[in-house]
A = this chain, B = another copy of it.
Amino acid sequence: MDFPSKLIENAVEELAKLPGIGRKTALRLVLHLLKEESEESFLLAEALVKMRAEVKHCRECHNISDTEVCSICTNPLRDRSLLCVVSDIRDVIAIENTGQYKGLYHVLGGVISPLEGVGPSDLHIDSLLERLPNSEVKEILLAISPTMEGDTTAFYLTRKLRDNKVRITSIARGVPVGGELEYTDEITLGRSIVERTVYGKV
């Protein structure tokens, strides 16, 4: 694709580096910005630069934060006996949005994946083991996606954590709310039968 302007081409190239955005979509975005007030482009650019330059990772849980220690870790209303281990910042946002969890978090920053060259030392596992002895944590909830890598990570963590006197739990696996039995895969449906709960307990 040839562009009539080097400036446009440059902006398209930079936008097309983002995941899921090709050159055609990038051009559409650039032409949209050209039609809007120039302030729109400046606000967008400023927000991106400021975000990238100033965002911190919480010293305690490695969640993204505007401060040294994040608003969840410093919140006196959170339950300090419960610690939820997730792989990614997105998982924290997803769990927070349920409104069902009032404990603390620990973000690993990924999952163990030998294929992609990610080992335990690349994740925030050491800092998890370090923060436990001096904490009030009584239960660790592993909320890691049930993929091959996720399960490997969870298995590794349970091995590492068993010396600490904490209860280790996992989020429930089963048929999704609103899901149809006949379209659920056999493994999920099988586990939902093995790990059946007493009616009315939830």
Contact A96 B27 (CB under 8 A): no
CB distance from A61 to the nearest CB of B (A): 10
Contact A7 B51 (CB under 8 A): yes
Contact A51 B41 (CB under 8 A): yes
Residue A34, interface by CB 8 Å: yes
Residue of B nearest to A94 (CB): B1
Q: Mark A50-94, 1 if CB is under 8 A from B, else 0.
A: 111111000000011110001110000000000000000110110
Residue of B nearest to A61 (CB): B4
Residue A147, interface by CB 8 Å: no
Residue A19, interface by CB 8 Å: yes
Q: A27-B93, A34-B64, A64-B34 are in contact. Are A50 and B10 (CB under 8 A)?
A: yes
Residue A168, interface by CB 8 Å: no
Task: Say what secondary structure dominates the interface of chain A.
Answer: helix
Which of B32, B43, B90 is the one whose CB lies under 8 Å from A19?
B32
Contact B55 A48 (CB under 8 A): no
A25 to B90, CA, bound (A): 12
Contact B10 A47 (CB under 8 A): yes
Contact A4 B65 (CB under 8 A): yes
Contact B71 A4 (CB under 8 A): yes
Residue A136, interface by CB 8 Å: no
Q: Interface residues, chain A, CB within 8 Å of chain B?
A: 1-8, 10-11, 13-15, 17-21, 25, 27-34, 38, 40-55, 63-66, 70-72, 89-90, 92-93, 96-97
7 additional A-B residue pairs with CB within 8 Å, beyond A10-B51, A11-B47: A4-B70, A7-B50, A7-B66, A11-B48, A20-B28, A30-B51, A45-B46
